[in-house]
């Protein structure tokens, strides 16, 4: 543990560049950050607190994950209790009760046709696990030639080789060679001319799903294992699916015996109005991934839900055979399970998994009140997700949104995520209307002065 974490001492001598140097920060402009750090020391409810004592309203739920709010007592206590009574237990050929209890509760929340869940430790692992389940599922049914995956441009599926292969964010792919072979991509669904300032699902764009027929015709359906998309693309800047689009993907995949995987790492656990995004959007995939909100971001955990028939297809051969040769040391880690069980209680007791639906109208009106401010070219929203897209500065893509992020943090005490020139918003699901106002008013002040 370093000095800062151990002592909580963020005084200038402890936050000098020499103290910040060793940590190779993920998805961060390291040199820029270390020259002017933005540090967080503790958290509670809707807020982060900086080392100099500022209270910062968290408008991004940590990283799309702290759905129950920060440091919730029941979750903290459950983690502490597990750490003191069952620090670790293997789930390879052994089991501990919390893993089974959690799986039962999760499939009950998912509802039919989902009846099994596989555990891992992150969204990236969930995606890799789902892709492997898809491949192996076809193989155990005698269709081992189905090896291709179809992802989508601007999709984000984490950073494993599987995830970046089916993902469609060029910056996350270009450094890493050829990745998985046999992957093709659907076109992305956002179109400024046709969809700008849509409220909820845009009316235009369902036909973009028909591109799947072209891709299927090119490769032949018999070679394709699965199509994977985020129901709402999050990391690329909240790209809401056009009305009818997911339904069309579902029809085409079903017709060709291709599995449909939804990556619900962001949309899972209440983000868009129902416990899971597919329930809100009314389209049921074959497999879906979760992470983040599964335990409100407290202990790394992810999972893959499988519909009826998938797990069962593996249950063949000798009773002693391991049916699916896949898993992680920390699959269903006791601390993660304890956190998730306590978190599900909080979600249930406080109605948080449907709260985004209740606040969606207020959130939408608040965000769209920023229309007309300088450089704002689009505003998008669904549930408690939202994005404000800015025109890029000529020759300096991303600089404008970065400025907003920095100014919001230091001048408005607001934590707002940016991706390219898009501000992405996803407050904890405990957010109050007055806090939504604060987020939007703070952004209004920053955007009004933005060059």
Contacting residues toward ligand PLP, per CB under 6 A: 64, 122-124, 127, 156-158, 230, 234-235, 263, 265-266, 291
Spatial CA neighbour of 280 closest among 358, 347, 346? 358
Please report how close the Cβ of residue 276 comes to ligand PLP at its closest, in angstroms.
Answer: 13
DSSP per residue, 275-308: SSHHHHHT---SEEEE-GGGGTTSS--EEEEEET
Q: How far is the CB of 122 from ligand PLP (least distance, A)?
A: 4
CB of 97 to ligand PLP, least distance (A): 26
Work out how close the CB of 72 gets to ligand PLP at its nearest, in angstroms, rounded to a whole number: 20
Q: How far is the CB of 163 from ligand PLP (least distance, A)?
A: 6
Which distant-in-sequence residues (6+ apart) come within 8 Å of 425 by Cβ? 59, 60, 238, 367, 385, 386, 387, 388, 416, 417, 439
For ligand PLP, the closer of residues 69 and 234 by Cβ is: 234
Nearer to ligand PLP, 51 or 234 (CB): 234
Q: Name the DSSP class of 223.
A: G
Q: Which is nearer to ligand PLP, 69 or 297 (CB)?
A: 297
| Closest to ligand PLP by CB, 150 or 366 | 150
- Element (DSSP H or E) covering residue 214: helix 211-219
CB neighbours (10 Å) of residue 254?
A: 12
Q: Which is nearer to ligand PLP, 25 or 35 (CB)?
A: 25
Nearer to ligand PLP, 294 or 376 (CB): 294
**Which residue, 211 or 230, has its beta carbon nearer to ligand PLP?**
230
With respect to ligand PLP, which residue has the nearer C-beta, 156 or 190?
A: 156
What six digits make up the tokens of 178? 């050829």
Helix axis angle, 433-448 relative to 352-368, nearest 10°? 30
Q: Which residue is nearest to ligand PLP (CB)?
A: 123
**Alpha helix (H) residue ranges in 61-210:** 61-64, 73-85, 97-110, 123-140, 161-166, 170-173, 192-195
Q: What are phi and psi of 441, to 5 degrees?
A: -65, -40
Smallest gap, in angstroms, from Cβ of residue 30 to ligand PLP? Answer: 18
The residue to which tokens 């918003």 are assigned: 425
Q: Which is nearer to ligand PLP, 127 or 384 (CB)?
A: 127
The nearest distance, CB 376 to ligand PLP, in angstroms, is 24
DSSP conformational letter for 233 = B
CA dist 391 → 138, 304, 381, 398, 408 (Å): 45, 37, 18, 9, 18
Specify whether the backbone of 45 is left (phi greater than 0), alpha (psi in -120 to 50) or beta. left
* Nearest distance, CB of residue 165 and ligand PLP, angstroms: 13
What is the residue whose two structure tokens read 């335990």? 295
CB of 26 to ligand PLP, least distance (A): 9
For residue 295, whether the previous peptide bond is cis, meaning omega lies within 30 degrees of 0, is: no
């Amino acid at each position: 543990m370093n000095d800062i974490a151990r002592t909580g001492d963020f005084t200038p001598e402890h936050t000098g560049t020499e103290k910040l140097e060793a940590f190779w920060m993920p998805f961060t402009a390291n040199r820029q950050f270390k020259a002017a750090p933005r540090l967080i020391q503790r958290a509670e409810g809707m807020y982060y607190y900086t080392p100099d004592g500022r209270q910062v309203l968290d408008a991004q739920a940590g990283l799309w994950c702290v759905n129950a709010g920060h440091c919730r007592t029941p979750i903290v206590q459950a983690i502490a209790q597990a750490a003191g009574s069952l620090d670790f237990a293997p789930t390879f050929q052994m089991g501990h009760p919390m893993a089974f209890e959690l799986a039962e509760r999760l499939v009950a929340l998912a509802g039919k046709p989902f009846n099994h869940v596989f555990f891992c430790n992150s969204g990236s692992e969930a995606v890799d696990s789902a892709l492997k389940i898809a491949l192996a599922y076809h193989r155990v049914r005698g269709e081992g030639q189905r090896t291709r995956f179809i992802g989508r441009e601007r999709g984000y599926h984490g950073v494993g080789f599987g995830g970046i292969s089916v993902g469609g964010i060029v910056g996350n792919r270009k450094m890493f060679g050829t990745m998985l072979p046999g992957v093709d991509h659907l076109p992305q669904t956002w179109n400024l001319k046709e969809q700008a300032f849509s409220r909820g699902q845009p009316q235009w764009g369902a036909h973009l799903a028909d591109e799947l027929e072209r891709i299927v015709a090119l490769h032949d359906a018999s070679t394709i294992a699965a199509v994977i998309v985020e129901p709402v693309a999050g990391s690329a800047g909240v790209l809401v699916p056009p009305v009818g689009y997911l339904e069309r993907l579902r029809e085409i995949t079903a017709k060709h015996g291709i599995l449909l995987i939804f990556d619900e790492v962001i949309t899972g656990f209440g983000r868009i109005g129902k416990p899971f995004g597919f329930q809100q959007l009314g389209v049921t995939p074959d497999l879906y991934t979760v992470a983040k909100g599964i335990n409100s971001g407290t202990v790394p955990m992810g999972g893959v839900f499988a519909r009826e028939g998938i797990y069962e297809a593996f249950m063949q051969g000798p009773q002693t055979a391991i049916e699916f040769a896949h898993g992680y040391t920390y699959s269903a880690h006791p601390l993660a399970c304890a956190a998730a069980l306590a978190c599900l209680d909080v979600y249930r007791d406080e109605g948080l998994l449907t709260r985004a639906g209740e606040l969606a109208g207020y959130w939408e009106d608040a965000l769209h009140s920023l229309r007309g401010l300088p450089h704002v070219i689009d505003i998008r929203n669904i549930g408690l997700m939202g994005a404000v897209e800015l025109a890029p500065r000529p020759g300096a893509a991303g600089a404008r949104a970065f400025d907003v992020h920095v100014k919001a943090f230091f001048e408005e005490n607001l934590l707002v995520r940016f991706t390219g020139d898009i501000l992405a918003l996803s407050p904890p699901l405990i957010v109050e209307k007055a806090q939504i106002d604060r987020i939007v008013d703070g952004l209004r002040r920053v955007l009004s002065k933005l060059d």
